[in-house]
Amino acid sequence: VVPPNADDRAVRWQISFPESLATRSWGTDVVLHDGATRSVHRLDAFSAAVLDVLKAGPADVAALTNDLAARFDLDRADLPEQVERVCRELGRRQLIEPSRP
């Protein structure tokens, strides 16, 4: 569940059901199946990369940004906004959720 009006950059995100995700990719196109909710999602490469980073454990936007920038040699200028947007979308789809303390 995406927290309303929260400072999304402070939220630590985690994958809702890490054991139940399966992906199939062709080039930069990814199709993801969530066995827990039996739902299917079409993702771009960046969203799939965010999920991939979160597989290692909960992370906030800053940590995700650092990891993604290092992995893919990305320009950090707009990256936090992009990561934040993707996290919101993945949260809306119930693929990730705020990490509980």
Q: Which residues bind another protein (CB under 8 A)?
A: 20, 22, 24-27, 29-31, 33, 35, 38, 40, 42
Q: Which two tokens stand for residue 97?
A: 């959720």
Shortest distance (Å) from residue 17 CB to another protein: 11
Shortest distance (Å) from residue 57 CB to another protein: 22
User: What are the phi and psi torsion angles at 79 (to 5°)?
Assistant: -65, -45
C-beta closer to another protein: residue 42 or 100: 42
